[in-house]
Amino acid sequence: MRTSLLGIELIKILKYKSFRVLAGLHLFFFLAVVFLASRINIEIPGFNPRNLFAFPYVWQTVAWFASWFNILLVFIIIMLTCNEFSYNTFRQHIINGLTRDQLLAGKGAVILLLGVYSFLLVLITGGLFGLFFSTDMTISRVFNDFHILLVYFLQTIAYMVIGMAIAILMKGTALSIVMFFLLRILIEPVLRSFFDPVARQYFPVRAISNLTPVPEFLSIASESQIITDGNDMLTFESMGLVSHQLPLLTSVLLAAGYTLIFIILIRNYLKRISL
């Protein structure tokens, strides 16, 4: 019989009020935003916002909306990790026979659990809205942009790993959340500003946020053939609304690489500290 790290984590989180509240807020806000957005109806000839919720665009749209609420998943991870320090329960786990790697693996299990949960949430929501809004339901069309869901999954995992790493470094919930925000909106942006627009795309937070780019509302809604006719695309990039973007695969590799590096660094740190 192996020690079930996920089983242990489940006992901790299922009865924890703050976890239930944050998870509930995540579910509620996501569904509310998707629902409200789907009701928007702008009456401009040749412009149909309903397309945003039709296959295959719905995956991109719903994944983008879901990415707004990644921050709540990160809060959950930060809170759960910092609790282990403030309750001294990481210490107690070591006393009871876990290794430091198992402490990290336990939190990794929660991150995967939340990642799978939000993946399924986007899959089900996207699927249902797609069924409702689509007129063309050929298999190839339904699954055309399906990989975006996997990319979204990677994004949630990457953000939560950064949250966990900050939480282990800072140990306090409030401080960790502040640091996470500062990293996203101040520290990395300032660092990035010293580099040229292309190099900026290689920074960790930027690479991770590039995983769910803003859906090309205009071209999708106006049904310009973005799939077949790339030259006439009304893209935000071509209009100068968003900066230069790397190919998705490059961003995926970057985000996965950074995630791995953060895990290795924080693992070494956790091995060295006193608990």
Partner 1 sequence: MGAILEVNAIKKYFGRICAVDGLSFRVNRGEVYGILGPNGSGKTTTLAIVMGLINSQDGKYSWFGGRIPPAEARKKKIGALIEVPYFYPYLNLEDNLKIIAKIKNILPGGIDRVLKSVNLHHRKNTGFKTLSLGMKQRMAIASVLLGDPEVLVLDEPANGMDPQGIAEIREIIINEREKGKTIIMASHILAEVEKVCTHVAVLKDGKLLAECPVTELPGKETKVLLASEDNNKLYQVLISSAIAKNVTPGEEFVTAILKEGITTAKVNRYLMQQGIVLSRLEEKKISLESHFLELVKSPGTSN
Q: Would you tell me which residues interact with partner 1 (CB under 8 A)?
A: 1-4, 7-8, 11-12, 15-17, 83, 87-89, 91-99, 272, 274-275
In 3D space, the residue among 185, 186, 183, 187 whose CA is nearest the CA of residue 167 turns out to be: 183
Q: Could you give phi then psi for residue 22, rounded to 5 degrees? A: -65, -40
Q: Which is nearer to partner 1, 27 or 275 (CB)?
A: 275
Q: Which is nearer to partner 1, 18 or 48 (CB)?
A: 18
Among positive and negative, which fits the CA dihedral 227, 230, 234, 236?
positive
Residue with tokens 């609304």: 241
Q: Which is nearer to partner 1, 1 or 42 (CB)?
A: 1
Q: How far is the CB of 241 from partner 1 (least distance, A)?
A: 46
Q: Which is nearer to partner 1, 94 or 226 (CB)?
A: 94
Q: How far is the CB of 83 from partner 1 (least distance, A)?
A: 8
Q: How far is the CB of 4 from partner 1 (least distance, A)?
A: 6
**Segment (H or E) for 165:** helix 147-170
Q: Which is nearer to partner 1, 63 or 266 (CB)?
A: 266
Q: Compute CA distances 36 → 13, 40, 60, 178, 245, whole Å.
A: 31, 7, 17, 30, 29
Q: How far is the CB of 79 from partner 1 (least distance, A)?
A: 12
Give 123's contacts (C-beta < 8 A, 6+ positions apart). 149
Q: How far is the CB of 102 from partner 1 (least distance, A)?
A: 8
